[in-house]
Amino acid sequence: MIVLEVAIPVPLNKTFYYLPIEGITHENIVGKRVKVQFGKKNLTAYAISFKNIDLGADKNNSLKLKRIIEIIDDDFFVTKEAIALANYISKNYVCSLGEAFSSIVPVSIRPPKRLTKEKHHDGEMTQEKHMLNAQQSNAVSLINKTLEKNIYASFLLHGVTASGKTEVYVNAIEYVLKQNRSAIMLIPEISLTPQFMCIMTKRFGSKVGVWHSGIGNVDKYKLFSKAKKGEIKIMVGARSAIFAPFENLGLIVIDEEHEHTYKQEQKPSYDTREIAKWRGNYHNAVVILGSATPSLESYKDALESKINLIELNERIDKKELPEVEIVSLKNKIVKSSLLLSETVAAISETLAKKEQIIVFLNRRGYSSSITCRKCANVYQCQKCSISMVFHRNPDVLKCHYCGITNYLPITCSLCGSSSVTVFGTGTQKIEHELKELFKNAKIFRLDGDTVSSKKNYEIAYNGIKNKEYDILLGTQMIAKGFDFPGVSLVCVVDADTSLYLPDFKSVEKTFQLITQVAGRSGRGDTKGRVIVQTNHPGHYAIEYAKNHDYVSFYKTEIEQRKKLFYPPCCDIAKILIKNRNEERTNRDSEKLFLFLEGLVKSSKLELKLLGPSFAYIAKLNGVYRKHIIIKGNKEKILNLAEFFKDFKQSSGTFVGIEIMPLDLI
């Protein structure tokens, strides 16, 4: 009897067996997603193989097997590569095979109900070539020579902002297409999609597909099919586009490779850069990691010759990097204004010259907290141990973690005083102030509250590009990748929002954000100017960002990491213990720590354990959360993780592990 082996995206690290649908051969099922009954639910599963069982030897068990309910796919998406990659993700990110498959071939994508003949669009395709400078030509030459050899190699393209990294990517993609191979181009934010799609479709026409969370599940299915059949040759998109099922992959580009968006936070918590290297190795393809502010991990790998380093240390046409002015908030009498007089004067001058401005603040909402002036009570979310944020229009308090909303309190819930006031600042408040100060200026705000649709990204991009707006205001989604020649001034309202977070990467993130947003200035004919408002003008992250000095920043920061034994000087894992009951969370986290400590000592794994301690947000959506941190060698951490199944936790307690987390908060 033929039975089918399927992987189901549930947290059980095993596969399951089902009988084929009557009248359909196993050859038409293996390699496709199928619908199966699992417990009381019907779930999507991945048919990975079949086996022939001896009915006489296994008659009782075989009779218990259920039949597959439905075949979902028309095409075979569960390929040999997909199975190998799922095994890699399962092993390296501590998840089941089915959970790994759910990232590679998403459960949500679905075929159209009926096949429709699509109109063929060639797109607006031009062969316009941009003249490369000497450094760009050298970069393209090195990459193309490697592509010619048909071998795996990875490059770190470290180029200052506006050094022309995109043109290097495009030239490499062009070479790959000549080899009749395919390319994946990853970008860190959906907001950059219109800009990159404009560039790519002009050069490559209908060969380009775009993939991100704003695209419907049927359209994603069509894109998946087109990529597998070779009907498109280039996939542009956010993190999950790394899984585009090209069968002859030649190049993977990860632009702004340092960005946190390339790390999946939900299970399986894969790192896109590592998946890119795995796929590059599988296909004998080239991987390019590009950034003006590389992650410390990538730059360390480049210095140690684990990846090839290419430097672009000057802007195109030898344009000067913008001049950065640090303005201290210390001892300044700000009163109700958020923008210092120096910042206001610079904006006025820039508007008078009909030039454009980017105003950056990495905090959305109107005010970051609600405080009682009498007793200093801070209004917190009932479900999360974090301040509620005040939002205007409508006037409500929002929790940015669980999404709960409340009305602004009239009196303090603690002391009954009516001295309740909004404290701190967010993008809404800055927008209000800018409109009061510059009544004729056209302002567009781009943050988590305004990007409910893909359309808003396009409005922002086209509006600034076509000079319909004078000021682009926003959070970190405007800090990277944008190329607006009309922007000559960048204002950083508060450079300190991430500087002193209790996390080993907080200084690195601060340096990257300031350097990146500063790099949006002066990309046209006018020399750029940047004003950075900060309470910590002497901090080395601020100082090195002012001088656009990545190398000095790296040298200083890597020494700090060595002293404290943090990545990239070691590997790290974060264990999350959570329960709606605080006592059980505490008890299980202590019990787990002792359990792991015993294993480390008995197995001589040479790992360092820290904790257990409450997470930065100790209660999230009514759930109490504690962390245990493991430092050491990744292989030894993974060895330790194998014993998690032996740990017996209380009812309602969840224990999960994240390998190489983005942060420890």
Q: In whole angstroms, how far apart are CA 432 and each of 13, 395, 533, 559?
A: 53, 14, 18, 42
- 660 three-class SS: coil
Of 166, 173, 169, 147, which is closest to residue 232 (Cα–Cα)?
A: 173
Residues of the chain whose pLDDT is less than 70?
Answer: 55-63, 114-129, 332-336, 367, 423, 451-454
The token duo for 442 is 């056209």
Task: Identify the bridge partners of residue 367 per DSSP, sorted by sequence position.
Answer: 390
The token duo for 271 is 């790192």
Place of tokens 């003249």: 131
Helix 134-149 crosses helix 165-178 at what angle (to 10 degrees)? 30
Place of tokens 């904006």: 347
Half-sphere exposure of 116 (CA within 13 A, CB side): 9
Terminal alpha carbon distance of the chain: 52
Domains and CATH numbers, the chain: 2-104 (3.40.1440.60), 134-315 (3.40.50.300), 319-368+424-561 (3.40.50.300), 571-659 (3.30.70.600)
Strand pairing report for 608-620 and 623-632: antiparallel
Of 272, 355, 320, which is closest to residue 161 (Cα–Cα)?
A: 320
Of 37, 43, 195, 204, which is closest to residue 108 (Cα–Cα)?
A: 43
pLDDT at 509: 95
Strand order in the sheet with 249-255: 208-211, 234-237, 182-186, 249-255, 286-291, 153-159, 308-312
Q: How many CB atoms lie within 10 A of CB 139?
A: 28
Q: In whole angstroms, how far apart are CA 470 and each of 80, 140, 360?
A: 52, 36, 14
DSSP string, 45-113: EEEEEEEE--TTTTHHHHHHPPBP-EE--SS--S-HHHHHHHHHHHHHTT--HHHHHHHHS-TT----S
- 557 three-class SS: helix
Handedness of CA 11, 15, 19, 20 (dihedral sign): positive
**Dist. CA 259–CA 293, nearest whole Å:** 9
The token duo for 629 is 């941190």
Strand pairing report for 153-159 and 286-291: parallel
Query: Do residues 155 and 142 make contact, with C-beta atoms less than 8 angstroms apart?
Result: yes
pLDDT at 63: 57
160: CB partners within 8 A, 6+ apart: 292, 312, 313, 314, 315, 321, 519, 548
CB-based burial label for 127 (10 Å; 0-12, 13-18, 19+): exposed
- 296 three-class SS: helix
Task: Identify the bridge partners of residue 360 per DSSP, sorted by sequence position.
Answer: 474, 492
Report which residue type is found at 341.
S
Start-end of H helices in 325-477: 341-352, 427-437, 454-465
Query: Do residues 261 and 183 make contact, with C-beta atoms less than 8 angstroms apart?
Result: no
pLDDT at 186: 97
Degrees to nearest 5, angle at CA 290 with 318 and 101: 160
Query: Do residues 49 and 5 make contact, with C-beta atoms less than 8 angstroms apart?
Result: yes
- 324 three-class SS: strand
**Dist. CA 409–CA 510, nearest whole Å:** 34
pLDDT at 125: 58
Task: Identify the bridge partners of residue 422 per DSSP, sorted by sequence position.
Answer: 370
CB-based burial label for 114 (10 Å; 0-12, 13-18, 19+): exposed
**Dist. CA 162–CA 355, nearest whole Å:** 18
Task: Identify the bridge partners of residue 249 per DSSP, sorted by sequence position.
Answer: 182
Query: Do residues 4 and 30 make contact, with C-beta atoms less than 8 angstroms apart?
Result: yes
**Dist. CA 510–CA 553, nearest whole Å:** 11
**Dist. CA 197–CA 541, nearest whole Å:** 33
Q: Name the pTM for this structure.
A: 0.93
Of 75, 301, 74, 251, which is closest to residue 148 (Cα–Cα)?
A: 251
Q: How many CB atoms lie within 10 A of CB 268?
A: 22
User: How large is the C-alpha radius of gyration of the chain?
Assistant: 27
Torsion of CA 278, 173, 321, 490, to 10 degrees: -80
CB-based burial label for 513 (10 Å; 0-12, 13-18, 19+): buried
CA diameter of the chain: 89
Query: Do residues 388 and 366 make contact, with C-beta atoms less than 8 angstroms apart?
Result: no
Q: Average pLDDT over the chain, rounded to whole?
A: 91
The token duo for 499 is 């500087």
